[in-house]
Amino acid sequence: MDEKKTTALPKHVVNMAWVLVLGAFAPMLDATMVNIAVNDLARDFGASLSTIQWVITGYVLATAVAVPFAGWLVNRFSGKWVFLAAEIAFGVFSLASALAWNIDSLIVFRLFQGAAAGMLTPLLTTLLVDLAGSAAMGRLMAVVGLPIMLGPILGPVIGGIVLEYASWRWIFYINVPIVILATILIAWKLPTFEAKNRQARFDVVGVTLLAAISSTIIYGIVQASTKGDFTNTTTVAYVLVGVVLMEVYGVYAHFKGEHAILPIRLFTRKNFTAAMVGMVVGGVATNGAMLLLPLFFQNLRGDSVIVAGLS
């Protein structure tokens, strides 16, 4: 009995953890919910698949680029207010995406929405550690880990149900009440976390290089789907530019040392390198399937959006 009391998490910590999870739940849903709406977006906007896919690809790319900003902001400012600002931004650009008047405006709004989501996800982990401490993180994740895992899984299912009975715009509208509730609870329940290092400097060059590497390589690969092969001039040129920029970053990070946004010495650790490779391979397998499978089930098998979402 005494051991259970010493290992049990305080109720107020668990409650605050649930508030943080609620704040990150809408971005987790949105990461996969839009995939099921590709056909509807193409039909309503009269755009090709190669253009529509930027609604998804742009979101993922913006999410990745925003991660370093989250680390710097939580160093300079209170984690609570950074999380709250990102939450509000996600809600605002969800509403803007729902009101998009053409495919170009939707892609732009999704970029900003993805940037907000890219700050919420790493901040969730950072603030959970601040709440419970690294020693209790395993027990806390056992409590709140299920909704974190279910978000991306439920996304296509909820998206399919929404599209069956309403417009694709409701995929974005549905985020708004979740964000409003989360915003109220974050402002009310969360403590004001102290800034970790107000003198932290933002690595502008490093972040710019990493963003350019991601953008050029992803754009080149996307062009391969448009051109029909990976040997076309556009794909080869952009991928080569990305590789060159990667080497430039390697030289820059070598001289920058520990102050680089991504210190290259981390890759000397086998566990870290293996984890990164695993994440890349897993991301390719997961994100590729989440875009292609809904199209396969709807266009080739003739299934409804609900069946495609469940599949």
- Structural domains present in the chain: 12-203 (1.20.1250.20)
Q: Is the distance from CB of 123 to CB of 83 less than 8 angstroms?
A: yes
28 closest CA partner among 122, 106, 100: 122
Per-residue model confidence as pLDDT tens digits over 141-164? 766 666 667 777 777 888 888 888
Q: How far is CA 271 from the centre of its chain?
A: 23
Report in angstroms the alpha-carbon separations of 127 from 18, 136, 142, 192, 267. 12, 13, 16, 11, 26
Q: What is the DSSP string of 169-192?
A: THHHHTHHHHHHHHHHHHHHHS--
pTM to 2 decimals?
Answer: 0.83
Mean pLDDT for the chain overall:
81
Average pLDDT over residues 290-302: 67
Determine the pLDDT at residue 96.
96
Q: Look at residue 307 in the predicted model and tell me its pLDDT.
A: 65
pLDDT at residue 5, rounded to an integer: 47
